Amino acid sequence: MDRIGQVAQLLGIKTHVIRYWEREFPHLRPSKNTSGQRIYSPEKVKEIQRIHRLLHVEGFTIAGAKKYLQAHEQGEEREGALIPKEMEGSLLRIQEEIQQFLEELEEKFSPPC
């Protein structure tokens, strides 16, 4: 069982960020010890790490992370579920550029007929 300061230090974030996430993601709410300190189970720490990854690594918004977690809980995880909406257009453009490049390579290096 970890206290909020330990979890914050593990992730390199401030304790107020975790308290904010507790309000936004109610399933994160920890138990408290006799002196009222937040105590996080290993499962809660894993979930906090997951939310941290979604928000700070994958670029999700709070709303997007909520949708992702809800879909994941319902077994609706799909290809591309980790792609934030804001990035879809850019990724499609990059995909088209790669496809065009591959076609040019194939044309250049394919044996003559």
Nearest of 70, 64, 96 to residue 82 by alpha carbon: 64
* 112 occurs within a structural domain: no
Question: Is 84 among the domain residues?
Answer: no
pLDDT in tens, 44-86: 999 999 999 999 888 888 998 898 888 877 665 554 555 666 6
Residue 34 is which amino acid?
T
Q: How far apart are CA 85 and CA 65, in angstroms?
A: 11
β-strand partners of 2: 40
Q: Range of 44's domain?
A: 2-73
31-32/38-40 β-pairing: antiparallel
Residue 25 located in a structural domain: yes
Number of separate domains in the chain: 1
39 belongs to a structural domain: yes
Decide if 9 is inside a domain: yes
Q: What does pTM read for this prediction?
A: 0.63
- The verdict on residue 49 lying in a domain is yes
What does the pLDDT read at residue 70? 83
**What CATH number did the domain enclosing 17 receive?**
1.10.1660.10
The answer to whether 27 and 33 have CB atoms below 8 angstroms apart is: no
110 within some domain: no
29 located within any domain: yes
Residues in the chain: 113
Q: How much is the pLDDT for 82?
A: 58
